[in-house]
Amino acid sequence: MVDHLANTEINSQRIAAVENCFGASGQPLALPGRVLLGEGILTKECRKKPKPRIFFLFNDILVYGSIIINKRKYNSQHIIPLEDVTLETLPDTLQMKNRWMIKTSKKSFVVSAASLTERKEWISHLEECIKHLLTKTGRQPCREHAAPWIPDKATDICMRCTHTKFSTLTRRHHCRKCGFVVCADCSRHRFLMPRLSPKPLRVCSLCYRQLLAEEKKEAEADRGQAEPIRSAGGYEPSSGDDSDKSDDEKAEQWPADTEFYTSAVSWSSFHS
């Protein structure tokens, strides 16, 4: 399908229509060889509540945004390179069915389709595109993924100290490392995680200690490697060579049977 549609007039028209719906707030999407394979409305499980989002699957990127007027106006455009995507099928809950997680190094989130058939179709097309891209580029699948945020309504108390109750005055916060809902006292620290952002991000107290320990371990390893070089050649190691990358610790799991969501979303079929 990709080879057949690439550089055709109908494909150019479809992409131009998507660009027009996003207007000036969106980025240009037309590139040589890029093909729009399908589109549809999925429920994205957001921090406050599940919300319908329009998704567009291209052969190299996944684009989604908020719906202002369906088929006419969208905003809040997000572009995800498919090379960075890993998929994970999730079990149904009583309130939400046909769920799966889209995991990337910068952001991970849960979506759901209106039917099992639609979920299978989405996942099948996504996996085929991802496989083709990885084969073409020779890259390995992404191994490090951002933690999905636990929805606000999943808990009324801080998931770290377990005694602070949230209210109108006591705000909920999210740790950017584990995604847990935490209080201000349990998330006073900031830590630089370049994979997620160029600025230090809010993390909970437990993740902060883990990240500091990993940073210290990496610094000690760097010093150990630099010692033979310094003694042999008399060179001082650069003060900026410490790696900021850290291996993700396995986060504590929120109970899988917790019912977080509700949804009723229509579906737009893939292009034939």
pLDDT digits (tens, 9 = 90+) for 121-178: 999 999 999 999 999 888 888 888 899 999 998 899 999 999 999 998 999 999 999 9
Give, in degrees to the nearest 5, the angle at Cα 142 between 136 and 145: 150
- Region 150-221: CATH code: 3.30.40.10
8 Å CB contact between 137 and 83: yes
pLDDT digits (tens, 9 = 90+) for 79-125: 999 999 999 999 998 878 999 999 999 999 999 999 999 999 999 99
8 Å CB contact between 202 and 213: no
**Lowest mean pLDDT across 64-73, 92-101, 218-227:** 218-227
- Please give the residue that has the higher pLDDT: either 194 or 7: 194
The predicted pLDDT at position 233 comes to 38
What pTM was estimated for this model as a whole? 0.74
| Contact residues for 32 (Cβ-Cβ < 8 A; gap 6+) | 7
- What DSSP line would sit under 237-267, residue for residue? PPTT------PPPPPPPPPTT----------
8 Å CB contact between 82 and 122: no
| Contact residues for 246 (Cβ-Cβ < 8 A; gap 6+) | 193, 211, 214, 215, 218
Element (H, E) at 64: strand 61-69
Q: Can you name the CATH fold of 3-145?
A: PH-domain like (2.30.29)
DSSP letter, residue 48? S
DSSP letter, residue 122? H
Average pLDDT, the chain: 83
Q: Where are the domains of the chain?
A: 3-145, 150-221
At position 207, the amino acid (one-letter code) is: C
